[in-house]
Structure 1
Amino acid sequence: MKKQIVESLGTFRLFLVELRRRLAYAGAMFRMRFIQLAVNTHVALPDDFVFDEKKAASRGRKAPDGKHYSAAYELEWDALPLAIQREIRKFDSVIRLYFGGDYLIHTANVWRNVGIPDQYRELDIYSQVWHYDHVVDYRNIQLFVLLSDTTEHHGPFEYVGNASETEASSDVVARNGAELPDAEVVRLVGKRGDGLLFSTGSTPHRAGIPLHGNHRDMFSIAFFPAYTGLGASAKALFAEMKSA
């Protein structure tokens, strides 16, 4: 009996050592962030696929003046242009490799951001401060597609291009509006239909703020690992495309 107790204690100690090692590794990986995914693309959008003001509802937080500066609406898979469905299927192997297996496709969003008064720029109104998208965990991806020609004057989507070389920022986690002085900022500017497949959970990003009189229209759709339960099976949706 004594021998069994000693052996059990020894096994437990080994378990604790291995647990500490794994936790230390996980902590180091979090500080380094995770593999960054940023793939530019272009989708030949149909002419009638544009932001529909009649469908849109206020999005984000109210500013102190009581106004919303963003509006959005959702689209189910069947309502998406075939060009976007095919674009997503084209990235199927990339998304599977990133997640390490099966994944789900969430409901899509179409939104419009307009300029924010200068006194509110540092407030987190429509995600225009640096942040990570931690919905369940860091493992999520989005496909963004511009719905109109977009320049720096239209408040383009921005992300940190050198995120894999830097440690996680507490300011980004807190979404407190702080700037990142060492960040290599990349902006999604270009023509209507230009897009970006992007790791929103592991890379700091934010919405740009349009200059007064301008706005930015964008389409986005999110992808999550199967264990999250967020969305519909990619396999099932692609199978429906083949049978259609």
Structure 2
Amino acid sequence: MPIKMRADLHTHTIYSDGKGEPRDVIINALNRGIGILSITDHDTFRGSVKALEFIRGNDLLRKNDFIFIVGNEVRTIDGDVLVLCMEYPGTDNVPKSIPELLDWASMNNCIAVPAHPYDVLRHGIGDKVRSYRWHAVEIFNAGALPIFNWRAAKAARELGLPGLANSDAHVPDLVGIAYTVFDIDNLTIESVFKALLSNHVNAVAHYPGPGLIIKRLSWSIRRRLRSTSSAV
């Protein structure tokens, strides 16, 4: 009988523009019932590597029903793409053109998923989602406007691709606010990838409430102010 597990495959930490350490993201994921998690910092696997170190040093996590997927949100020439890997590929030197990135993903046991593809405010790839062979599409992003998510879901449906719902959490409290239910055969990364590629997934769309929206906006403003002051 398949095992149903909640997954959040788009989160951020201090290793790009997130607020929390990888351990904070993991703890909040567990508190929300997330059993499959990926940390996808911008253009780096460093957050995922630190998460793996934390997991390996935690007996309870290693014995728990918890699966961690190494990830990276790559800023390609055309926009953002989630790269989710069976293991750490050993480098942050990832191609920035979509055709080369897709070839690289295939060679490194990774899958590629356009992140918030129709979000014109946050580097979505737009209709390039229809120009390449993707493994899945992020059809709901908790930080994207409803019209952008609707267009992404429509594209995935028309292309016959699996759809993922993710939090895109930059603040640990937001991890797992949106998630995807996976039907997996066993508690392995291989089973997670098999379920995704077989479309044994169900996106659960949910936007954060007012309190969490304020936390997200507050962090975004503080981060931008900090970035501006450091650039002066």
Give 1 or 2: higher helix fraction: 2
TM bracket, shorter-chain basis: under 0.3
- Between structure 1 and structure 2, the one with the greater Rg is 1
**TM-score under structure 2 length normalisation:** 0.25
